[in-house]
Amino acid sequence: MTDYKSLLRELPAVDRLLRETPLEDKMRHLPRRLVLEAAQETIASYRRRISDYSSLDNSPESPVQIDLSPSALAEEAALLAEKRAGSNFRSLINATGIIIHTNLGRVPLAPSAIEAVTAAARDYNNLEFSLDTGERGSRQEHLEKLLCDLSGAEAAAVVNNNAAAVFLALNTIAAGREVVVSRGQLVEIGGSFRIPEIMAASGARLVEVGTTNKTYLRDYEAVVNENTAAFLKVHTSNYHMIGFTAAVKTKDLVSLAARCHLPLIEDLGSGVFRDLTAYNLPPEPRIQDSIAAGADLVTFSGDKMLGGPQAGIIVGRSDLVAMIRKNQLARTLRIDKFTVAALEATLRLYLDWERAEQEIPVWTMIAAPPAEMRRRAEGLAEQLSGLLAGGDLEVIEGFSRVGGGALPTAELPTFLLALRPPEGKSPTDLVAKLRQGSPPVVLRLQQDRLLFDPRTIKEEEEEALVGAIDRACR
Ligand SMILES: *Cc1c(COP(=O)(O)O)cnc(C)c1O
């Protein structure tokens, strides 16, 4: 029988550990409290291990084999301290091929937007100061003209995200009154944005019309009464109905809304300025088309297919936008200077579509032809084939996705680097190792193969990716 009590006594004390070279080193350039914590946690974890063994009679690994020397523990504590000292929020390589990846920060910004954010962080600026008059200005002014030019709307306002845009529009126009929505459009997006809940929070009363698959204009018409405040049309961004369906076109709802003297609010979700069929993608409603059709307010996200910073954009009738801006809640949902900077720079690129496609990463990734994906996947395979001792590399055909709850059925043909792990290594372990590595790599696992999609990997990340795969496979 092992004498666990004596093993516990053998554990070095914290100050003994701190005198070991690796920790003395860390003390010199990391915050003292981090190093101290790491030493305490390391000792505590060994104490737990020993106690766990003592409660297991036939443990496969005898605790006597654990190295309890101060140098071994100090080594481990030093690694822990180093890890804790680094940022928790980090850059990573997205090899999933999902372009708008909400969990991974949605989309990278265009270079000019990155520059604008850096300048906003570094310098004072005219966020709310008019350089013409020397008087107080509005942060919205930096964005409104561009948004109106691009969408054809009379006015625009920008808030923290699209959920906030929908909430604020409903709260301003319909609190305490009724809003008519088709049953087929009561969507949930991303697990936390649900139309019925947002509507309830805004104080508007939801009036559902039609059925799950079919809603007609007469369904909307039948429920209008003196308490009706607006019609709401929601783009069913993240699901697609097939079979027998009927939805009312924006243009028809516009005529009904006009006849009833009620505004039509349209939540486009992703929102695009460009016709997606040019990229062999299913059509998405364009912002300028909804405005041209006569929607009174249109809302969309800044960081989905627009490819900018997180924001919720409201464009439409100037009297309604003015009311929205005056709402006290607008202050709680307002955007910061970084969003103003990044969004203005991103919108400016849309003034020239060619530049938008070349410089806004979401569009560069969507537009990348399969032949280029093949060339890059083959390049990665070639670099790795010289390094990997075992494992099986192949370039295969596959699909990338737009993601972000947009275009749920759309697939972009691509080429993938497929890696079958070396003998004796489990694919799930390898995925975890890559995720916990430096830089972390996030990818898709299909059966026993790890898939890397060049579409969402920047060319300048390739070297780091090859290194990470090589280290993980050892
Ligand atoms: C994504 C989405 C939202 C929420 O937008 P966020 O900018 O993520 O807050 C709202 N409505 C629709 C239809 C969406 O697709």
Q: Given 2.60.40.790, 3.10.129.10, 3.40.640.10, 3.40.50.300, which CATH number is that of 111-356?
A: 3.40.640.10
CA of 282 to the centre of ligand 1 (A): 19
Lowest mean pLDDT among 173-177, 243-247, 382-386: 243-247
Rounded to an integer, the average pLDDT of 339-361 is 97
Sorting pLDDT into bands at 50, 70 and 90, what band is 236? confident
pLDDT at res. 387: 83
Minimum-distance ligand 1 atom for the alpha carbon of 404: 1
pLDDT of residue 363: 97
3-class SS at 31? coil
Mean pLDDT value of segment 356-377? 97
More confident residue, 187 or 229: 229
Closest Cα to residue 438, out of 37, 102, 87?
Answer: 87
Cβ neighbour number for residue 449 with a 10 Å cutoff: 17
For the CA of 301, the closest atom of ligand 1 is 7
- Confirm or reject: Cβ of 285 under 6 Å from ligand 1: no
**Pair 68, 74: CB distance under 8 Å:** no
The residue whose C-alpha atom lies closest to atom 12 belonging to ligand 1 is: 269
* Residue 442 confidence (pLDDT): 98
Of the candidate ranges 8-22, 142-156, 291-305, the one whose mean pLDDT is the lowest: 8-22
Say yes or no: CB of residue 312 within 6 Å of ligand 1.
yes
Cβ of 405 less than 6 Å from ligand 1: yes
Question: What is the pLDDT, as a whole number, of residue 7?
Answer: 86
DSSP 139-182: TTHHHHHHHHHHH--SEEEEES-HHHHHHHHHHHHHTTSEEEEE
* pLDDT in the model for residue 228: 98
Closest atom of ligand 1 to 237 CA is 15
Q: How far is CA 189 from CA 2, 162, 192, 230, in A?
A: 56, 11, 7, 22
With the most atoms of ligand 1 within 8 angstroms of its CB, the residue from 102, 240, 301, 306 to mutate is 301
- Domain residue limits, the chain: 4-85, 93-102+364-473, 111-356
Is pLDDT above 90 for 15?
A: yes
- How does pLDDT run across 424-453, given as a tens digit for each residue? 889 999 999 999 999 999 999 999 999 999
Residue 167, classified by CB atoms within 10 Å of its CB into exposed (0-12), middle (13-18) or buried (19+), is buried
CATH label, 93-102+364-473, candidates 3.30.379.10, 3.90.1150.180, 3.30.9.10, 1.10.220.70: 3.90.1150.180
Of 83-87, 119-123, 141-145, 316-320, the one with minimum mean pLDDT is: 83-87
Residue of the CA atom closest to atom 11 of ligand 1: 269
Amino acid at 235: H
Q: What is the pLDDT of residue 329?
A: 97
- DSSP 8-state symbol, 247: -
CA proximity to 158, closest of 147, 172, 173: 147
> Measured in whole angstroms, how far is the alpha carbon of residue 220 from the centre of its chain?
35
Neighbouring C-beta atoms of residue 368, cutoff 10 Å? 18
Mean pLDDT along residues 390-402: 92
CB-CB neighbours of 409 under 10 Å: 10
Nearest to 364 by CA among 460, 456, 472: 456
Cα–Cα dist 73/446, whole Å: 38
**What's the CA-to-centroid distance between 143 and ligand 1, angstroms?**
20
Which range (82-96, 191-205, 259-273) has the least confidence?
191-205
Position in ligand 1 atom list of the atom nearest CA 312? 7
Rounded distance from Cα 130 to ligand 1 centre (Å): 32
Question: How many percent of the chain have pLDDT more than 90?
Answer: 79
Taking the C-alpha atoms of residue 254 and residue 265, their distance in angstroms, rounded to an integer, is 10
Question: Which residues 6+ apart lie within 8 Å of 473 measured at CB?
Answer: 388, 389, 390, 391, 421, 422, 425, 430
Q: Which residue owns the Cα nearest ligand 1 atom 13? A: 269
- What number is the average pLDDT over the span 325-340? 97
Q: What is the pLDDT of residues 45-68, one digit of tens each?
A: 999 988 887 776 555 555 567 889
First to last CA, the chain: 37
Q: The whole model's pTM is what?
A: 0.92
Q: How many CB atoms lie within 10 A of CB 380?
A: 22
Ranges of H-type helices in 386-439: 427-436
pLDDT beyond 90 at 351 = yes
Backbone angles phi, psi at 269, to 5 degrees: 75, -100
Single-letter code of the amino acid located at 57: D
Q: Is 271 in the pocket of ligand 1 (CB under 6 A)?
A: no
- Beta-sheet pairing, 205-209 with 178-182: parallel
Average pLDDT, the chain: 93
- DSSP strand E in 22-71: where? none
Ligand 1 midpoint to CA 198 (Å): 11
Q: What is the mean pLDDT of residues 203-219?
A: 92
Question: What is the residue with the minimal CA distance to atom 5 of ligand 1?
Answer: 162
Atom of ligand 1 nearest to the CA of 406: 15
The reply to whether ligand 1 has any atom less than 6 angstroms from the CB of 339 is: no
Identify the CA nearest to 160 among candidates 404, 363, 329.
329
Dist. CA 405 → ligand 1 center (Å): 8
Residue with tokens 């929607």: 295
Whose alpha carbon is nearest atom 2 of ligand 1? Answer: 269
Q: Is the CB of 267 under 6 A from ligand 1?
A: yes
Residues 270-294: tens digit of each pLDDT: 989 999 999 989 888 899 999 999 9
pLDDT at residue number 58: 54
Question: Would you state the pLDDT for residue 243?
Answer: 78
Q: Which of ligand 1's atoms lies nearest the C-alpha of 234?
A: 13
Q: What gap in Å lies between CA 268 and CA 407, rounded to an integer?
A: 12
What is the predicted pLDDT for the residue at 1?
55
Cβ pair 417, 381 in contact under 8 A:
yes
pLDDT above 90: residue 120:
yes
**Ligand 1 center from residue 183 Cα (angstroms):** 18
On the question of pLDDT at 310 being above 60, the answer is yes
